[in-house]
């Protein structure tokens, strides 16, 4: 009884993970699926939910996401460089002040 329950619980937990793994393939609408659905519509009269308009919308959204990601990465890179330059300038300033105080003692 206990083993059956554990097996059932394991399967119940594993199934959503397996479906989540397949979901992007089911949802994704690319050129291959759009052409296949158009051929099915022409021959059988029934097709899936992927068509040329949805494919174009997905391509536009993907392109916009890629541009946004590149902009974010560039901003992060510039911020990192500016922070490094400020740290270097602060270190040089501290070093110069230290040398100035040493020279005054002598």
Residue 56: C-alpha distances to residues 3, 34, 42, 51 (Å): 50, 10, 20, 9
How many domains, in total, are found in the chain?
A: 1
Asked if the structure places residue 46 within a domain, the reply is no
Asked if the structure places residue 15 within a domain, the reply is no
Asked if the structure places residue 39 within a domain, the reply is no
pTM of the predicted protein model: 0.48
Asked if the structure places residue 95 within a domain, the reply is yes
Cβ–Cβ under 8 Å, residues 71 and 63: no
pLDDT digits (tens, 9 = 90+) for 39-51: 998 999 888 888 8
Asked if the structure places residue 77 within a domain, the reply is yes
Give the pLDDT score at 14: 61
Write out the residue range of the structural domain in which residue 57 sits: 51-105
């Amino acid at each position: 009884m206990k083993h059956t329950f554990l097996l059932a619980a394991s399967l119940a937990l594993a199934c959503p993970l397996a479906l989540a793994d397949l979901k992007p393939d089911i949802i994704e609408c690319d050129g291959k699926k759009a052409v296949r659905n158009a051929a099915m519509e022409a021959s059988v009269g029934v097709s899936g939910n992927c068509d040329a308009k949805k494919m174009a919308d997905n391509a536009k959204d993907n392109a916009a996401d890629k541009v946004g990601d590149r902009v974010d990465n560039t901003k992060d890179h510039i911020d990192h460089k500016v922070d490094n330059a400020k740290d270097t300038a602060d270190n040089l300033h501290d070093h110069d002040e230290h040398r100035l105080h040493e020279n005054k003692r002598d």
